[in-house]
Amino acid sequence: MKNVFVNLAERYIYNEKPAILPLVVIITGMIIGVCFLVYYTGGIKYVYSHSMYIPIIVSSLFFGIKGGVIAGLAGGLVLGPYMPIDVITGEMQQTINWIYRAGFFTLIGIITGTSMDSLRNRIREINWLMHNNRYTELPNEESLNQALERLARDDQVKCPYYLLSIGSSNISSVKNTFGFSVVHVVIQQMNQRLNECILFNHGIFNHSDEKMAVILGDPGESEIDEHLNRIVHALELPYEYENIPIHMDMHIGCVAITDRSLSNYTVGRQAETALNHAIDNKLSYCIYRPEEDKTSRENVGLLGSLRNAIDTDQLVLYYQPKVDIHSRKLLGVEALVRWQHPTRGMIPPVRFIPQAEQTNLINPLTMWVLEKALSRISMWDQQQFMPAVAVNISTRNINVPGFEDAVFRLLDEYHIVPERLELEVTESALMQDPVNAIRLLTELAESNIIISIDDFGTGYSSLEYLCKLPASIVKIDQYFIRNLVNDSAVRNIIKSATDLAHSLNMTVVAEGVEDEAVLDFLVDIGCDIVQGYHISRPIPEDELLTFARAN
Ligand code: C2E
Ligand code: MG
Ligand code: MG
């Protein structure tokens, strides 16, 4: 019974055009009922005419202002000119009486009808907002959940079907440049492209502020990878905002739904895990695998205990030598952190640094590395072992007010000349806020700290900023070095980057040198310093001293 009422209420609220038949039935019933009452009771003076409000209110409830007005007028007329005051005497009503009554009934119909119409509109609006994003006007998370539930119940839908979560890794910088409204414009354009390039979708959703989700039907014979590639390709074409073309780095997390009993929450989280994995590893798309979930949970757990690891000295520094390309003389070392975990053993930095860089934890971590490195320099000085030590710096470190003062204070504390400290900042970190980076690094460089651009070639730096950067070293990213043997285009890039750096009076370091053939090429093109497994892996302090003695 309850369901019948709920259904009736829903039909009443959402039906744009209620059927006219019920209104005709109500009004006809009203006329017959009134005639019967008047003649049965003996005349209009015996009938309680206010009972006419009941059909008027019912009509306006169901048919809004139109229903209210029609029922009001009809009621007024039915109780009007042809209804005798007294059936037996045949005395009729005065015209003014029934006109007044008809007017009053109509007014009641107008008032209740208008109220119902505006209530109904409000409910429709709230319902729309519950299911759609108000800015992009696309179905939202609630709609996504409902669609997933519907599909899980529908045996006609073949498994697997796929949930895709689509996000961009550079959306923050685009938003910072153009303002929040750019996100809505991009999402709408994405929606258009998704609609054009996906043939079997069960819905496209804008399920969170900056992300889209798609439920992809079973692609049949063709491979899911083929579909994902096509979607990524469509999404990576430039977007247009106020006549400016905008490039978005798009990533897709995909999960195959084979088990209909999984909750929406689980499936959604799996798609998010896959998306995060794609973003972290710079992949166009990633299909969810439970192992990744485990790794990402472990990494979140790791991040939670990192603060304690810093405070209790669980971190250790390894050092990777950098040598002169001709003489192989040791010129410096790069300090690379590792986590000596009490139960999980040695954890490499890729497992916790990228996560720490997303939080403020990277600040105490960098301070720990700096302090440790400087304390080592001061110890090595006493042993006449004097390489420069490079420490990696992250974007957040650059943005912390007073970072430079903290560095100067540590140099003072350990009595280290600034020339012994090198700070490596990745090209992409520099380009996030180049103006601030240039200001800070200039101050550090003016005090003779060596500044180097790490992972050069991966961060789209503009020549304008490159000229202004106070860096004296460029470290060409390992990707290029590792691929130079098989790829002539890569060789050309390395050659041009080396020439460019030299023309700006910078020293060129090649990282990731793994064999003699690569070394020979680097000698030919005039690279200055090499670092890589071919020279030495990152090694603990005691091994470094042995390496230095042999060198
Ligand atoms: P990076 O600064 O580019 O460091 C070089 C990475 O390349 C090191 O990995 C090093 O072990 C590896 N590598 C060096 N030569 C070779 C080679 O010939 N072949 C191959 N395949 N790899 C080579 P690692 O130690 O795992 O560090 C990875 C990244 O983690 C570093 O990249 C750096 O971005 C970050 N990192 C490490 N320590 C710190 C730190 O103390 N602070 C910050 N902010 N980041 C750090
Ligand atoms: Mg580095
Ligand atoms: Mg590097």
Output the CA 103–ligand 1 centroid distance in Å. Answer: 86
Look at residue 420 and tell me whether its pLDDT is greater than 80.
yes
Look at residue 13 and tell me whether its pLDDT is greater than 80.
no
Which pLDDT value is given to residue 156? Answer: 83
CATH class for the region spanning 141-288: alpha beta
Look at residue 50 and tell me whether its pLDDT is greater than 90.
no
Domains in the chain: boundaries: 2-131, 141-288, 305-550
> Does 34 or 69 have the greater pLDDT score?
69
DSSP H or E segment with residue 207: strand 201-208
Look at residue 346 and tell me whether its pLDDT is greater than 90.
yes
Mean of pLDDT values over 181-195: 94
> Does 259 or 441 have the greater pLDDT score?
441
Token readout for 183 is 């996100």
Which pLDDT value is given to residue 18? Answer: 60
Of 65-74, 340-349, 441-450, give the range with the top mean pLDDT: 441-450
Which pLDDT value is given to residue 361? Answer: 93
Which pLDDT value is given to residue 365? Answer: 96
Per DSSP, helices labelled H in 211-261 are 224-236
Q: What is the pLDDT of residues 99-121, one digit of tens each?
A: 999 999 999 999 999 999 999 89
Nearby residues of 18 by Cβ (< 8 Å), 6 or more positions away: 12, 62, 63
Q: Whose CA is nearest to atom 15 of ligand 1?
A: 532
Lowest mean pLDDT among 20-24, 33-37, 427-431, 461-465: 461-465
Lowest mean pLDDT among 293-297, 325-329, 335-339, 357-361: 293-297
Look at residue 459 and tell me whether its pLDDT is greater than 70.
no
Decide if 13 contacts 124 (C-beta within 8 A).
yes
Question: Which ligand 1 atom is nearest residue 357's CA?
Answer: 44
Look at residue 19 and tell me whether its pLDDT is greater than 80.
no
- Ligand 1 neighbourhood includes 273 CB (under 6 angstroms): no
Which pLDDT value is given to residue 10? Answer: 63
Question: Which ligand 1 atom is nearest residue 369's CA?
Answer: 41
pLDDT class of 408 with cuts at 50, 70, 90: very high
Look at residue 463 and tell me whether its pLDDT is greater than 70.
no
Which pLDDT value is given to residue 294? Answer: 74
pLDDT class of 12 with cuts at 50, 70, 90: low
Q: Whose CA is nearest to atom 13 of ligand 1?
A: 512
Phi and psi angles of residue 405, each rounded to the nearest 5 degrees, phi first: -65, -40
Q: What is the pLDDT of residues 252-277, one digit of tens each?
A: 999 999 888 889 999 999 999 999 88
pTM for this predicted structure: 0.63
CA distance 348 to 326: 31
Look at residue 6 and tell me whether its pLDDT is greater than 60.
no
Mean of pLDDT values over 532-539: 96
DSSP-derived pairing of the beta strands 285-287 and 250-257 = parallel
Eight-class DSSP state of 132: B
- Ligand 1 neighbourhood includes 532 CB (under 6 angstroms): yes
pLDDT class of 431 with cuts at 50, 70, 90: confident
pLDDT class of 534 with cuts at 50, 70, 90: very high
pLDDT class of 38 with cuts at 50, 70, 90: confident
pLDDT class of 319 with cuts at 50, 70, 90: very high
Decide if 397 contacts 432 (C-beta within 8 A).
no
Nearby residues of 304 by Cβ (< 8 Å), 6 or more positions away: none
Q: Whose CA is nearest to atom 43 of ligand 1?
A: 392
> Does 366 or 298 have the greater pLDDT score?
366
Mean of pLDDT values over 313-319: 96
Given CATH 3.20.20.450, say whether it is the number of domain 305-550.
Answer: yes
Which pLDDT value is given to residue 81? Answer: 86
Which of 280, 299, 334, 353 most suits a substitution to test ligand 1, by most atoms within 8 Å of the C-beta?
353
Output the CA 540–ligand 1 centroid distance in Å. Answer: 14
Percent of the chain with pLDDT over 90: 55
Look at residue 16 and tell me whether its pLDDT is greater than 60.
no
Q: Calculate the average pLDDT of the chain.
A: 89
pLDDT class of 15 with cuts at 50, 70, 90: low
Look at residue 471 and tell me whether its pLDDT is greater than 90.
yes
Percent of the chain with pLDDT over 70: 95
Q: What is the pLDDT of residues 478-506, one digit of tens each?
A: 888 988 888 888 899 899 999 999 999 99
Q: Which residue, chain included where needed, has tokens 């009938």?
A: 47
Phi and psi angles of residue 7, each rounded to the nearest 5 degrees, phi first: -60, -45
DSSP H or E segment with residue 321: strand 315-324
Which of 333, 372, 392 most suits a substitution to test ligand 1, by most atoms within 8 Å of the C-beta?
392
Strand partners, 318: 336
Mean of pLDDT values over 499-522: 94
**CA geometry: angle 534, 537, 543, nearest 5 deg:** 120
pLDDT class of 403 with cuts at 50, 70, 90: very high
Mean of pLDDT values over 38-58: 83
- Ligand 1 neighbourhood includes 533 CB (under 6 angstroms): yes
Output the CA 511–ligand 3 centroid distance in Å. Answer: 7
Nearby residues of 496 by Cβ (< 8 Å), 6 or more positions away: none
